[in-house]
Amino acid sequence: MDFWQQHFAGRLPALVMFDLDGTLIDSVPDLAAAVDQMLALRGRPPAGVEQVRLWVGNGARVLVRRALAGSLQHSGVAEAEAEAALADFLQAYALEHSRSRLYPGVRACLEHLRQQGVRLALITNKPVRFLPDLLAAHGLQQSFDWVLGGDSLPLQKPDPAPLLHVLQAAGVAAAQALFVGDSRSDILAARAAGVPVVAVSYGYNHGQPIAAENPDLLVDSLAQLI
Ligand SMILES: O=C(O)COP(=O)(O)O
Ligand SMILES: [Mg+2]
């Protein structure tokens, strides 16, 4: 049986929750520029776009620690050094939004779902302070009924807390909702919340194929959602 029939009896979900980086927006060029500025302030060589792509997905705090460690594993990074580097990264990233692009099919998908009366939420691990400007830069400031960043609640994805928060606010049962994301954190959060999950194949997921995380559906473009 196909995914839509199995989960939604061929109808649309009442609520669709989207991840941002790697799902709606290719933000790695801007994130890498800010990471490289933070490293340059420390006299260190740039990490570059291809490395930073592997490190995105767990919020700014973890991204900066990975950049300082030069690897996905960042347990050895000193706390004080990491906090100072985080402040420099955030300052740099606030000025770096010009290279980010919406992925093909995103705008049409969001518009179609809204026209059909589906409520939409954005649930990202990116710090919430960046979201108003970033959404406005892509004409998406009116697209979402709820917008949660990685620091909007005490816990972020892969914890299900932000998804459960939106489900409750919307008064929608988990099984009537859908989550769309690009990384392992998204799939784990959706599973823990009991929400069916679609993964996009083009996102970041730390360089690993997202199919290995067994999403309920894998798509190559959000155009396949409508
Ligand atoms: O900022 C990040 O690390 C990733 O954010 P995302 O949750 O929108 O993918
Ligand atoms: Mg993502």
How confident is the model at residue 195, as a pLDDT?
98
19 is catalytic: yes
The 10s digit of each residue's pLDDT in 117-150 is 999 999 999 999 999 999 999 999 999 999 999 9
Instruction: Say whether pTM exceeds 0.90.
Output: yes
Q: Which domain holds residue 75?
A: 28-93
Assess contact for 106 and 24: CB atoms under 8 A: yes
In terms of domains, do 141 and 217 share one?
A: yes
Ligand 1 atom, smallest distance to 125 CA: 7
Parallel, antiparallel or unpaired: strands 25-26 and 101-102? antiparallel
Domain final residue, candidates 93, 119, 145:
93
State the CATH number of the domain containing residue 164. Answer: 3.40.50.1000
Which residues form ligand 1's pocket by a CB distance below 6 Å? 19-22, 56-59, 63, 124-126
Assess contact for 176 and 158: CB atoms under 8 A: no
Instruction: Give CA separation, 126 vs 8, 25, 27, 150, in Å.
Output: 30, 12, 11, 5
Query: What is the chain's alpha carbon radius of gyration, rounded to the nearest angstrom?
Result: 17
In terms of domains, do 194 and 212 share one?
A: yes
In terms of domains, do 80 and 158 share one?
A: no
Residue 11 has pLDDT above 80, yes or no: yes
The 10s digit of each residue's pLDDT in 157-177 is 999 999 999 999 999 999 999
In terms of domains, do 124 and 20 share one?
A: yes
88 annotated as belonging to a binding site for a ligand: no
In terms of domains, do 108 and 217 share one?
A: yes
The per-residue DSSP string of 109-133 comes to HHHHHHHTT-EEEEE-SS-GGGHHH
Closest alpha carbon to 187 in 221, 216, 224, 147: 216
For residues 56 and 51, what is the distance between their CA atoms, to the nearest angstrom? 9
Residue 1 has pLDDT above 80, yes or no: no
ipTM over 0.85: yes
- What count of other Cβ atoms lies within 10 Å of the Cβ of residue 213? 19
In terms of domains, do 22 and 39 share one?
A: no
Number of domains in the chain: 2
In terms of domains, do 22 and 42 share one?
A: no
The 10s digit of each residue's pLDDT in 22-67 is 999 999 999 999 999 999 999 999 999 999 999 999 999 999 999 9
List residues, by chain if needed, whose CB lies under 5 Å from ion ligand 2.
Answer: 19, 21-22, 182-183
In terms of domains, do 76 and 134 share one?
A: no
